[in-house]
Amino acid sequence: MTPLVRTLRAAAPPSPDTAAAGAAPVCPPPEPPGIEARDLAVSYREVVALEDVTLRVEPGDLCGLVGMNGAGKSTLFKALMGVVAPSRGEIRFLGVPAERARSRALVGYVPQRDEVDAAFPLSVADVVMTGRYGYQNLLRTPRPADREAVAAALDRVGLADLAHRQIGALSGGQRKRVFVARALAQEARVLLLDEPFAGVDRDSEATIIAVLHDLSDQGVTMLIAEHDLNTLPRICSEAILLNRTVLLHADVQTVLRPENLALAFGIDTARAEEVVR
Ligand SMILES: Nc1ncnc2c1ncn2[C@@H]1O[C@H](COP(=O)(O)OP(=O)(O)OP(=O)(O)O)[C@@H](O)[C@H]1O
């Protein structure tokens, strides 16, 4: 749901029934945001990677994250995943404090680079199973429900035939699909995807985009870092422009306006017009 849509919904008139009865409209309590960060700051020694980052992504929204190299996108993901400790600020997922949400496996992560050494003797299915148990519990015997979830996730990303292949024997695009399958098997309610389309062929890209749209329909909240601005509108309807702080959070068409890209990427407007055709 884009911010524009949110605004329109908020302004909708009361229904004729409630208006006629003169009763106060009974509204369900507002759902907490899928992702909420307030006043977040992260530094690596003297490098301030993020400051004053405040954002909220509503449940079921698929939000892009756009910014130049070094803008802090990966750092934001790391802070959301608890990999780096913010020096300030607060993070919640679905209204639940970040640490508790992560320990309840509410939050899934598709990393920018492989977390698994390609030479490690893990099968594709083993890696996807870590979405159920984590890497520490690889030797645990999976329950039938876990096997079913893994098989369904691999089927969904079109890798059912490769379930028993060693992870290192896949192409880069196939490996990305494995990590998306792992997030599916986890059944997380919030997904953070750090450039899931980087180095991915057209088929894998189309498969992943379809999966993300299905998840959005099911109410999963997603934040997706994406470098290719021309691909962005096919993926999501809203996006955040980041450069150490949130410069803009709006519908994708607004974010892609040359004057906004010029601001975020430190280029002139004419160059920004060339970037997005
Ligand atoms: N481990 C680290 N130690 C010191 N500085 C770091 C570290 N990781 C990132 N940085 C710095 O923090 C800033 C933000 O980096 P980050 O990787 O989050 O950006 P990014 O937007 O993900 O970039 P890219 O698009 O190139 O992946 C940069 O100035 C970077 O050099």
Q: Residue 194 sits in which domain range?
A: 30-106+188-277
Mean pLDDT in residue range 122-149: 81
Arithmetic mean of pLDDT, 222-231: 92
Check residue 19 and give left, alpha or beta (phi > 0: left; psi -120 to 50: alpha): alpha
75 CA to middle of ligand 1, Å? Answer: 6
| Residue of 40, 45, 75 with the most ligand 1 atoms within 8 Å of its CB, for mutation | 75
Model confidence band, residue 22 (pLDDT cutoffs 50, 70, 90):
low
Same domain, 237 and 216: yes
Q: How many domains does the chain have?
A: 2
Judgement on whether residues 69 and 100 belong to the same structural domain of the protein: yes
CATH number at residue 76: 3.40.50.300
Query: What residue's CA is closest to ligand 1, atom 16?
Result: 72
pLDDT, one tens digit per residue, over 227-260 is 889 889 999 999 999 999 999 999 999 999 999 9
- Claim to verify: residue 233 and residue 274 sit in the same structural domain: yes
Whether 275 and 212 map to the same domain: the answer is yes
Which residue, 187, 204, 235, sits at the end of a domain? 187
Pairing of the two strands 88-93 and 245-251:
unpaired
Asked, for residue 13, whether it belongs to a domain, the answer is: no
Ligand 1 is surrounded, with C-beta below 6 A, by 44, 47, 49, 67, 69-75
- Residue to mutate, 42, 69, 223, ligand 1, most ligand atoms under 8 Å from C-beta: 69
Residues 202 and 131 in one domain: no
Q: What is the pLDDT of residues 145-195, one digit of tens each?
A: 899 999 999 999 999 999 999 988 888 888 889 989 998 999 999 999 999
In a domain, 122, yes or no: yes
Determine the pLDDT at residue 110. 87
Say yes or no: 121 and 176 in one domain: yes
3 state DSSP class of 33: coil
Whether 137 has a pLDDT exceeding 80, the answer reads no
Neighbour count for residue 31 (Cβ, 10 Å): 12
Alpha-carbon distance 13 to 29, whole Å? 17
The tens digit of pLDDT for each residue in 87-118 reads 999 999 999 999 999 988 899 988 876 666 66
Stretch 62-67: mean pLDDT: 96
DSSP 166: B
ipTM here = 0.98
141 with 199, same domain: the answer is no
* 200 and 273 housed in the same domain: yes
pTM listed for this prediction: 0.85
Q: Are residues 275 and 192 in the same domain?
A: yes
What does the alpha-carbon distance between residue 247 and residue 191 come to, in Å, rounded to a whole number?
22
pLDDT band at residue 122 using 50, 70 and 90 as cut-offs: confident
Probe residue for ligand 1, chosen from 74, 193, 245 as the CB with the greatest number of ligand atoms within 8 Å: 74
Do 137 and 267 reside in the same domain of the chain?
Answer: no
Q: Are residues 272 and 194 in the same domain?
A: yes
- The secondary structure of residue 114, as a DSSP letter, is -
How crowded is residue 53: how many other Cβ atoms within 10 Å of its Cβ? Answer: 25
pLDDT tens digits, residue range 40-61?
999 999 999 999 999 999 999 9
Closest CA to 56 of 35, 86, 30, 29: 35
- Residue finishing a domain among 166, 187, 208: 187
Tell which residue, 156, 227, 170, has the closest CA to residue 193: 227
